[in-house]
Chains A and B, each alone.
Chain A
Amino acid sequence: MNERSVLTDLAVQFALLSLMSIGGIIAVVPEMHSAVVETHNWMSSTDFVTLFALAQAAPGPNVIVVTLIGWKVAGALGALVATVAVSTPSFLIAYTASRFWSHFNALDWYRLFERGIAPVTIGLILSSGLLLTNVATNSWSSLIVSALTVASLLRWANSPLIALGCAALAGLAGFV
């Protein structure tokens, strides 16, 4: 496969994902996983989850996981193509919405729509969580780390940075 076709695949794949990402980037993680790992064979499941974790550990919006995937697949140009592809469709939609709807105060309508969309979005986010956990927990110790993270988030709503830091230290010390 030559380089140009890889870049084309990246562009098409992430532009499509952008259009389907109602509920945000986290909601399309299972779809992204199946495209990146199964359809295109760009990387292993474990690599995908590692890149996802790297992007979560970095500052910025969740969409930077796409930048990282593009970089891994086709270097700096791949990162650029993937980022532009995932940004452009949603950019055009948000731009149009702001241009033509921002002077409407339609909060009641938004709330109604949100009540319809939210259960689907939450179902997709939980599916993302299940997929990531399934790949990331290949040992008892990593299963314990995931379980502790879920428990601490539900109990204290603490900053994710604390959990990530603790797990990184535990892993560095050889416990995971």
Chain B
Amino acid sequence: MTIEVQEDRPVRTVALSELFLAFAGISIMGFGGVLPWVRWMIVERRRWMNEEEFINALSLCQLLPGGNVMNISVYVGERFGGLPGAVAALAGLLLAPCLIVIGLGGLFQAYGHLPAVQGMFRGVSATAAGLILGMGLRMAWRYRRDVRALPVLAATIVAMAWFKLPLLVILATILPVSLIIVWTTRQR
């Protein structure tokens, strides 16, 4: 396992407005999953990164706290526009969705008392909950034969959903154990 320094880190910069607009565009397209659009925009449409660079960036961003797409926007913004670029990219990603969601909230506040709207939201809430459960099950399915991952996964669910332990406790106990298990059983 070696860390090699890439010699070809591009020095070119991208205009702040371009970073802002690119991520604003991604955010609006992102119904139920923004990530595929991020790859399309960065790798295929604008060609800011090649596939390998993008996978490297995404893998790093998934390890960091915060939403993956938020982290990618900051990462890409920084690389092509420094601190102002990072701010522009994140602002582009968040601005329109925040305004839209507050607009929806306002509509719900105005019409939420109507029985039909309440029914609609019971349906949407049950679906949104099912979508998260289904997403978790799909992700867990990949690890169904992984004897290292399954006990960790089960312990996390018991701690969080059953005993309702604070997240910080879980991150300070189960996470290090999981990392140690993976580290000690890694294949060289």
Contact = CB atoms under 8 A, between A and B. Distances in A.
Interface of A: 18-22, 24-26, 28-31, 34, 49-65, 67-68, 71-72, 76, 79, 83, 87, 89-91, 93-95, 97-99, 101-133, 135-137, 139, 141-143, 145-154, 157, 159-161, 163-164, 166-176
Contact of B123 (A83, A89, A145): A145
Given A64-B98, A116-B175, 19 more contacts: A54-B121, A59-B27, A68-B101, A79-B98, A87-B66, A97-B60, A99-B78, A102-B75, A109-B3, A118-B139, A122-B140, A125-B139, A133-B129, A143-B126, A145-B130, A146-B126, A149-B129, A168-B123, A173-B119
Interface in B52-68: 55-57, 59-68
- SS class, residues of chain A in contact with chain B: helix
B9 A102 contact: yes
Interface in B137-188: 137-140, 143, 146, 148-150, 152-157, 160-161, 164, 166-168, 170-171, 174-175, 178-183, 186
A152 B126 CA distance: 14
A16 B26 CA distance: 27
Interface residues of B, number: 103
B167 A31 contact: yes
Contacts of B74: 90-91, 94-95, 98
Interface in B13-41: 27-34
A22 B68 contact: no
A20 B156 CA distance: 15
Contacts of A52: 125, 128
A127 B124 CA distance: 19
B93 interface: yes
A120 B170 CA distance: 9
Given A83-B98, A105-B6, A112 B63 contact: no
A131 B31 CA distance: 23
A159 B130 contact: no
A164 B33 CA distance: 14
Contacts of A164: 32, 124, 127-128, 131
Most buried by B among A60, A71, A72, A139: A60
A22 B171 contact: yes
Nearest to B7: A103
A176 B126 contact: yes
Nearest to B32: A160
Contacts of A21: 65-67
B9 A64 contact: no
